Amino acid sequence: MQTNSKKKGNALYKILTNAKVRIGIICLCLSGALWLFVALGKTYQYNYSIPVSFFSSDNPNQQFYCSDSVIDIHITSSGFDLLTSRLVFRDQKSIDIDVNKLSLNMQSGNAKIPMGFINSQVYSTIGMGKVPIEIMPDTLNLKWNKTYSKQVPLINRVKVECVQPFSSSEQPKLEKDFLELEGTREELRKIDTLYTKEMTLKGINRDLFVFVPVEFDHSSTNLNLPMSIVGMSINVKEYTENVVSIPVSAIVGKNEKIRLFPSSVKVRYKVAMEDFNKVNPDDISAYVITNLEKKKKKLRVILKDIPEFIKVLSIDPPKLDYIIQK
C-alpha cells in the first residue's frame, strides 16, 4: 500500500513539475482573472428593497407613520460597485432615520421628507460613495401625533441628614422649580405635578451640588420628559446650641394685675457658628396674654423678635403659673 501511494505521489509531482503543465495552469488562472475583470468592469443594474423607519433621539416614545415602509433602490453601476453594495445590503436590515436631523415642526403632525435627505441617508448606510442610485417612491409622507409642551411644577422629596454638629441651613434647593413636559394635549392634561425620587442623603458635612432623578413613567408612548434629572444644591453649616434667660412680661386687661412664676424663662436655641456672636439676648422678648375671665391655670409663653438666623429648640418652662394681684 505504501508503495502504491508513493508511486501516485511521484506521478503527481512529475505532472506539476512539468513545464508545459505549469504554463497551462498559469494561463488558465490569468484568463479566468481577465474574464472576471472584464465582467465586473461592465455596467449592470441592480434593484434592492429595504425597510425604512423613523425615530426621534430626543423623544424615543414618539411614534412615526410613513406612507411607505419599504423603499426600492435602483442602482446602475459597474460590477465592482454592485458586488460591494450587495455584500453591504445583506447585512443591512433597515434604514433608520433620526427626524431630529430634519428640523421638523413637531406641532404640525406631518411632513414631506425631501428625497435629497433620503439619498444622503442611503449613501451613508450602504457605503457606496458617489455611485448613482434611484429611489422609489420619490417622496415619503411622514405623520405623527402632534406634540405640545407644558411647564409642570417639580416637588422635591429629597431629605438630608447631616453629621453632627452640621446641619442644613435651608431646604435643599432644586435648580429648576418647573420642568417642560412634551406630549399630546390629552396626556398633558392628566399631569399637574412632577416629583423627584423619594430618597435620603445621609452623612452630609459640607456644601454639595448633586443630581437627583425625576420620577416619571417612561413607558407612556405619548409623553416625553427631556430632562429626567435635575440639579440640587445643599447648603450646610456647622451649628452649636446655647441657652439664654429671657424675662417675661404680661399683657393684661384693663384693671388687671398679675404676678408670674417664674418671672423668666430659659430659651434654648441652635445657631450657626458664624452667627453665634450676632445673637443679643436683649433683643429677644417673651410675654404672656392674660384673660382672667377664662380662668386658665397656666399662661403660655410667646416669643417675639427672634433673629431669623436662629432656631428655637425649647422654652423652659413653656407655661407659667400666676396669681392675681388686687
Q: What is the pTM of this model?
A: 0.53
In CATH, which superfamily holds the domain spanning 149-234? YbbR-like domain (2.170.120.40)
Contact between residue 158 and residue 199 where contact means Cβ atoms under 8 Å apart: yes
Q: Provide the CB-side half-sphere exposure for 252 (13 A, CA).
A: 15
Q: Who's near 292: CB < 8 A, 6+ residues apart? A: 253, 256, 258, 324
Distance from the Cα of residue 249 to its chain's centroid: 57
In CATH, which of 3.40.50.1000, 1.20.120.80, 2.170.120.30, 1.20.1740.10 is domain 239-324?
Answer: 2.170.120.30
Query: Cα 186–59–70 angle (5° rounding)?
Result: 100
Q: DSSP letters of 270-323?
A: EEEGGGGGG--GGG-EEEEE--TTT--SSEE-EEES--TTEEEEEEESSEEEEE
Tell whether domain 41-144 is in CATH 2.170.120: yes
- The rounded distance, in Å, linking the Cα atoms of 94 and 72 is 12
41-144 matches 239-324 in fold: yes
Q: What does the pLDDT profile of the chain (326 residues) look like in tens digits?
A: 445 555 555 555 555 566 665 666 676 776 666 666 655 556 666 677 788 888 888 777 777 888 777 888 777 766 666 666 554 555 566 788 888 887 777 667 778 887 777 777 777 766 555 566 777 777 788 887 777 889 999 999 999 999 988 888 788 999 999 999 888 888 888 889 999 999 999 999 999 999 999 998 766 657 888 888 999 999 999 999 999 999 999 888 777 788 889 999 999 999 999 999 999 998 899 999 887 556 678 889 999 999 998 999 999 999 998 888 76
How do the domains of the chain map onto residue ranges? 41-144, 149-234, 239-324
